[in-house]
């Protein structure tokens, strides 16, 4: 998700691998089963009928997901924002981009698609934290991610912790690539999820959930 204002001042160089990846659905489809085998996406195996109950438990409307899917077909990102009692539908510009005005974010609930299936981008989470949105969801047909924002930490401290965690996670996964345990595209797919898992263990009020809804 792209938020339309001047980018936050974080050091882009250490993010090259986070923002720089780009791979097609074909590679993703052939690889995603392997993530489970090697324990990268070690969510419990879903039953096909689990989707509704997971959505229900997360407070997500199936109809919102379907609206986004029907209007974007995973060709571009799409988002629905609940903000100040209003509901906004936004169609994105690319597979990894939907533009949302930051003015809508305060106390908002955001649902958006990630056609490639990866977890929240750094930008997603930092903008949610900085602008005090309540929750954000990212999904495709296989994965659903939800972050609920009750972070009490000052934004700058939270951001610095995220940056540190990215660098540590990047180094840890890079080592696995070097040793041939995972491929570079597996690393790129897994890194965001690994980062948010690590952040949720350390930061009170950062509640992160990830589910696999389809085999
Ligand atoms: Zn996103």
**Structural domain harbouring 6:** 2-212
Give the pLDDT of residue 37. 36
Measured distance CA(28)–CA(207) in Å, rounded: 26
> What separation in Å is there between the alpha carbon of 33 and the centre of ligand 1?
22
> 132: which DSSP letter?
T
Give the pLDDT of residue 52. 84
- Hey, what are 122's tokens? 């750094």
> What separation in Å is there between the alpha carbon of 183 and the centre of ligand 1?
23
Identify the bridge partners of residue 79 per DSSP, sorted by sequence position: 90, 112
Give the pLDDT of residue 28. 35
Give the pLDDT of residue 43. 52
> What separation in Å is there between the alpha carbon of 179 and the centre of ligand 1?
30
Residue-wise over 23-34: b if at least 16 C-beta within 10 A, else e?
eeeeebeebbee
> What separation in Å is there between the alpha carbon of 207 and the centre of ligand 1?
16
| Under 8 Å between Cβ of 211 and 46 | yes
Give the pLDDT of residue 49. 61
> What separation in Å is there between the alpha carbon of 172 and the centre of ligand 1?
23
Q: What are phi and psi of 214, to 5 degrees?
A: -150, 145
Give the pLDDT of residue 51. 82
Measured distance CA(150)–CA(30) in Å, rounded: 37
Q: How many domains does the chain have?
A: 1
Residue-level pLDDT, tens digit, the chain, 215 residues: 666 543 333 333 323 233 333 333 333 333 333 333 333 444 555 555 678 888 888 999 999 999 999 999 998 899 999 999 999 999 888 887 788 888 999 999 999 999 989 999 999 999 999 999 999 999 999 899 999 999 999 999 999 999 999 999 999 999 999 999 999 999 999 999 999 999 999 999 999 999 988 87
For tokens 């938020």, what's the residue? Answer: 3
> What separation in Å is there between the alpha carbon of 114 and the centre of ligand 1?
6
- Hey, what are 155's tokens? 């934004």
In degrees, rounded to 5, the angle at the alpha carbon of residue 117 between the alpha carbons of residues 113 and 121 is: 75
> What separation in Å is there between the alpha carbon of 121 and the centre of ligand 1?
5
> What separation in Å is there between the alpha carbon of 138 and the centre of ligand 1?
6
| Under 8 Å between Cβ of 28 and 102 | no
Give the pLDDT of residue 36. 35
- Hey, what are 143's tokens? 């994965």
> What separation in Å is there between the alpha carbon of 152 and the centre of ligand 1?
22
| Under 8 Å between Cβ of 146 and 182 | no
Give the pLDDT of residue 4. 55
Give the pLDDT of residue 18. 33
Q: What are phi and psi of 167, to 5 degrees?
A: -60, -40
């Amino acid at each position: 998700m792209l938020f339309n204002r001047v980018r936050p001042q974080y050091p882009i160089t250490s993010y090259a691998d986070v923002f720089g990846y780009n791979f097609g659905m074909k590679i993703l489809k052939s690889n995603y089963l392997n993530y489970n085998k090697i324990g990268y996406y070690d969510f419990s195996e879903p039953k096909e009928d689990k989707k509704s109950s997971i959505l229900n438990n997360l407070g997500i409307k199936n109809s919102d997901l379907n609206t986004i899917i029907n209007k974007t077909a995973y060709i571009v990102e799409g988002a629905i924002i609940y903000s100040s009692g209003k509901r906004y539908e936004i169609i994105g510009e690319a597979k990894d981009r939907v533009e949302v005005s930051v003015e809508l974010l305060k106390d908002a609930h955001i649902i958006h698609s990630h056609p490639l299936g990866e977890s929240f981008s750094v930008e997603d989470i930092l903008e949610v934290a900085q602008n005090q949105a309540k929750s954000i969801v990212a999904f495709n047909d296989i994965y659903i991610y939800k972050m609920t924002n009750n972070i009490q930490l000052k934004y700058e401290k939270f951001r610095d912790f995220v940056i540190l965690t990215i660098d540590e996670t990047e180094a840890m996964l890079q080592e696995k690539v070097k040793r041939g345990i995972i491929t570079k595209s597996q690393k790129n797919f897994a890194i965001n999820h690994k980062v948010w898992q690590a952040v949720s263990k350390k930061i009170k009020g950062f509640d992160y959930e990830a589910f696999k809804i389809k085999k």
